[in-house]
Amino acid sequence: MANNNYASIVDDIHPTRGVRFSMYAYIRPEVDKTFSCAQFVQYLQQSKTRFTWGDLHGTDELLIVPLPTYLESWVDGGNYNDAYITVNTFASRGNMINNVKDIYQKSDVVDFYYKGSDEYVGID
Helix, strand, coil fractions of the chain, as percent rounded to 5: 30, 20, 50
Over residues 77-105, mean pLDDT: 83
**Confidence class of residue 17 from pLDDT cuts 50, 70 and 90?**
very high
What are the residues facing 111 on neighbouring strands? Answer: 86
Q: Is the CB of residue 41 less than 8 Å from the CB of residue 67?
A: no
Output Rg (C-alpha) for the chain, integer angstroms: 15
- Please report which helix (H) or strand (E) contains residue 44, including its range: helix 37-45
pLDDT, mean over the chain: 87
pTM confidence score: 0.81
- Split at pLDDT 50, 70, 90, the class of 91 is confident
